[in-house]
Copies of this chain bind each other. A is one copy, B any other.
Amino acid sequence: MSVAVTPSGKSPAPRDTQRIYSIAELAREFEVTARTIRFYEDEGLIKPRRQGTQRLYSAGDRARLGWILRGKRLGFTLAEIKELLDLYHVDRTGLQQMRELLRRSRLHIEDLERRRRDLDAQIGEFKDVEMHVAAELRQRGADPESD
């Protein structure tokens, strides 16, 4: 997919575009195990090239992995992430496919915005807690910033 291949949305910082990565490199960079990356491949989420039996990851593969992991952090299952990734790889030339893509994108956005409301609510609550506790500490003559 092209989405998120470039974090900022443009100017992919053409440097390193040609680099290839070993599985261990990516594992270190993203703080996952090689087992995890292979597992994602088994599940059809990444398809690195092979040099004989060894896996070679392109910059695109690397970006894709990053995207997968961000999806995970957001609480999506691998199946959902795969669906979203696939959304861009299937034929996008047909009118029906484009409508479908549009529809799914909108649904996904709704989903994300629901999560955002939950998230903002929790952040608000805990900031409240922080404020009140800090105030109480000060009132007792203690410095909230000292451990």
A interface residue numbers (CB < 8 A to B): 3-4, 7, 9, 70-71, 73-75, 95, 98-99, 101-103, 105-106, 108-109, 112-116, 118-130, 133-134, 136-137, 140, 142, 144, 147
- Extra contacts besides A4-B121, A99-B142 (18): CB < 8 Å: A4-B125, A73-B114, A73-B118, A74-B115, A74-B118, A75-B75, A98-B142, A99-B137, A102-B134, A103-B147, A105-B133, A109-B126, A109-B127, A112-B123, A112-B126, A116-B116, A116-B120, A119-B119
Interface centre among A95, A128, A129 (most CB of B within 10 A): A129
Contacting A75 at CB < 8 Å: which of B74, B99, B126, B147?
B74
Q: Which residues of B contact A128 (CB under 8 A)?
A: 3, 9
Classify the secondary structure of A's interface with B.
Answer: helix
Contacting A144 at CB < 8 Å: which of B102, B116, B133, B140?
B102
Interface centre among A3, A99, A125 (most CB of B within 10 A): A125
Residue of B nearest to A87 (CB): B129
Q: Which residues of B contact A126 (CB under 8 A)?
A: 3, 105, 108-109, 112
